[in-house]
């Protein structure tokens, strides 16, 4: 019988705890701006945690996917280096992680051709996440890249034979396409690829300062790299409500509860306790607690990040090393694919 993705993820967490060396994670981000606290609590912290338990970690700077929902890739090299600085500041260890860009690993991209032959147009058009992304896209017309990028994502994951992909719920349809492609390839040409599992984060969804999902494009996100003043300004503008008594009730008071959760995550404490402490101090007291908690929590991360960002040669060196490794692996996989398809 099929189990839910959540139950499957809990099983996986148990197996990881027993045998971390059996897992290889591939995950990634598009270089479209600085990473924020939503990324940190949603995925960055767990990437670093899993890496330090002994899981092998591949992190993709998805530069060829920047153009899926926009016509131009602005500030690309600045965002690429910023992303690497964010990763390292958040605790990812570059001595064992492989950090690399699409554009530097040609053999990875070449896998897209055989993979495209394994999915139908109907399957691609049914993908609810792509439909959603098309609806909110900044492009006048839907490009072929947008339509087919879940297949590119399969190449991202399968080139290094990753068996674990930490994702948010919205990415599950993409993950299904990757699994379908791996299965079909193996059935048609012989066993080459693992069928990778999605690992859902157990962290609650973090809301931005406007009460909607925290996201770079909404202007409601607290970047890891923001200054303390910028953080204070953003929190001051946050939406709250008229009830002076602060409580944690995500269903009925999403904005206030979002802020309470942010402070609680930064303090590593229960949100109900944090809310009770603020009591009837109202929005002003809540905002002060949030600003102080966020700034205190991020202080060491920001200090590390500032040091890293000042050393661009080092950041480029981290990428160069990761890309050398990723290229060797991608070449090997492409060779295997060629042989499997030729025989």
Choosing from 9, 28, 238, 305, the residue that interacts with ligand TRP (CB under 6 A) is: 28
Tokens of 298: 């991020």
Helical pair 312-342 and 172-189, crossing angle rounded to 10 deg: 40
Which range touches ligand TRP (CB under 6 A), out of 59-67, 106-114, 285-293, 325-333?
59-67
CA pair distance 151, 177, nearest whole angstrom: 7
Strand residue runs (E) in 135-248: 164-167, 197-200
Residues 6+ apart with CB under 8 A from 222: 36, 37, 209, 214, 231, 234, 235, 262, 294
Task: Using CB under 6 A, pick the residue from 9, 27, 148, 255 that binds ligand TRP.
Answer: 27
Q: How far apart are CA 143 and CA 226, in angstroms?
A: 33
29 binds ligand TRP (CB under 6 A): yes
Task: Output 38 or 94, the one with its CB closest to ligand TRP.
Answer: 38
Residue of 9, 46, 51, 65 that binds ligand TRP (CB under 6 A): 65
Instruction: Give min distance, CB of 280 to ligand TRP, in A.
Output: 40
Minimum distance from residue 216 beta carbon to ligand TRP (Å) = 11
Query: Based on CB atoms, which residue is closest to ligand TRP, 101 or 287?
Result: 101
CA-nearest of 341, 340, 330, 339 to 157 is: 330
**Closest approach of ligand TRP to the CB of residue 13, in Å:** 18
Q: Considering the complex, what minimum distance in angstroms separates the CB of residue 138 from ligand TRP?
A: 14
What is the rounded distance in angstroms from the CA atom of residue 268 to the CA atom of residue 187?
A: 47
Binding residues among 144-203 for ligand TRP as defined by CB under 6 A: 153, 156-157, 165
Q: Which is nearer to ligand TRP, 62 or 265 (CB)?
A: 62
Query: Max alpha carbon distance in the chain (Å)?
Result: 73
Q: What is the SS3 string spanning 287-303?
A: HHHHHHHHHHHHHHHHH
Cβ proximity to ligand TRP: between 60 and 226 the closer is: 60
Nearer to ligand TRP, 171 or 295 (CB): 171
- 28-36, 78-86, 110-118, 198-206 -> range binding ligand TRP (CB under 6 A): 28-36
Of the candidates 311, 245, 333, 242, which has an alpha carbon nearest to the alpha carbon of residue 26?
333
Size of the site for ligand TRP (CB under 6 A): 12
Binding segment for ligand TRP (CB under 6 A), chosen from 58-66, 204-212, 258-266, 308-316, is 58-66
- CA 61 vs. chain centroid, Å, equals 10
The footprint of ligand TRP (CB under 6 A) covers: 26-30, 60, 62, 65, 153, 156-157, 165
């Amino acid at each position: 019988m099929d189990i839910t993705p959540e139950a499957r993820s809990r099983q996986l967490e148990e197996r990881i705890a027993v045998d971390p060396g059996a897992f290889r994670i591939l995950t990634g981000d598009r270089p479209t701006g600085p990473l924020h606290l939503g990324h940190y609590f949603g995925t960055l912290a767990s990437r670093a945690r899993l890496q330090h338990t002994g899981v092998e970690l591949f992190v993709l700077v998805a530069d060829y996917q920047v153009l899926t929902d926009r016509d131009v890739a602005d500030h690309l090299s600045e965002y690429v280096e910023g992303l690497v600085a964010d990763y390292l500041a958040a605790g990812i260890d570059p001595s064992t992680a492989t950090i690399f860009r699409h554009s530097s690993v040609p053999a990875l991209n070449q896998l897209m051709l055989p993979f495209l032959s394994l999915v139908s147009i109907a399957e691609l058009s049914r993908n609810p996440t792509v439909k959603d992304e098309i609806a909110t896209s900044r492009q006048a017309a839907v490009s072929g890249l947008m339509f087919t990028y879940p297949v590119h994502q399969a190449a991202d994951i399968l080139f290094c034979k990753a068996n674990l992909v930490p994702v948010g719920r919205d990415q599950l349809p993409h993950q299904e396409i990757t699994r379908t492609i791996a299965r079909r390839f193996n059935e048609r040409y012989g066993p080459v690829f693992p069928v990778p599992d999605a690992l859902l984060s157990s962290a609650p969804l973090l809301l931005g300062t406007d009460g909607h999902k925290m996201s770079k494009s909404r202007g409601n996100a607290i970047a890891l790299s923001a200054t303390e003043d910028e953080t204070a300004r953003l929190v001051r503008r946050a939406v709250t409500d008229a009830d002076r008594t602060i409580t944690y009730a995500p269903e009925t008071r999403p904005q206030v509860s979002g802020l309470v959760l942010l402070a609680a995550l930064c303090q590593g404490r229960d949100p109900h306790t944090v809310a009770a402490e603020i009591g009837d101090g109202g929005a002003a007291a809540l905002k002060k607690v949030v600003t102080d908690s966020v700034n205190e929590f991020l202080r060491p991360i920001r200090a590390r990040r500032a040091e890293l960002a000042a050393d661009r040669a080092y950041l480029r060196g981290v990428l160069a090393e990761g890309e050398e490794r990723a290229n060797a692996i991608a070449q090997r996989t492409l060779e295997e694919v060629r042989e499997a398809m030729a025989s």
